[in-house]
Amino acid sequence: MKEERETSMLTSVRQNHALEHATIAILSRKVSIGTRMMGRSTWSGFYIYGDFSTELIAEAAREALARLQKGEAELAISPFCGTNLAVTGLLAGVFSIIAMGKENQIRRLPRVIFAGVIAAIVAQPAGRMAQRYVTTSSNLANVSITRITKRGRGARTLHKVETAHRWD
């Protein structure tokens, strides 16, 4: 029972992460270029940080959910996701350690820099893959939006989009 609950909570976070990305992608097409926004997902929903009306957030979230449920899985993958930064840091560290070898430090430096650059290049597709298979789930057939609440004003506005997940 505990393992089943933990699995459903992890799946909920992954689904909400996908819905957060899709909502931000849709929202970004509806607002002016350069508008600042950020999201964060939890097992019970997700937060959108930015100066938006609740109606605009609701419209974007509902459209995102409908499009993901119709199979538009690419909406779940974001080039701006923190997963990309984490994968880049991890790969740069691992590649650099491998490149260090056992030679003296001066001779290692070009190799370490090169390894870091290669890691940053490899990390772009690796970050997208990590989102697709680890940190998001675009299968939202069992998800519904239950409530959207707003806190703060202006640049400090935050909306919580709450979700429900059916586990048949």
Residue 8's SS3 state is helix
Whole-prediction pTM: 0.85
Query: 48-52, 99-103, 108-112, 156-160: which has the minimum mean pLDDT?
Result: 99-103
What confidence tens digit (pLDDT) does each residue in 43-64 have?
A: 999 999 999 999 999 999 999 9
> In terms of C-beta density within 10 A (0-12 exposed, 13-18 middle, 19 or more buried), how is residue 23 classed?
buried
What number is the average pLDDT over the span 117-140?
93
Q: Distance of alpha carbon 8 from its chain centroid, rounded?
A: 18
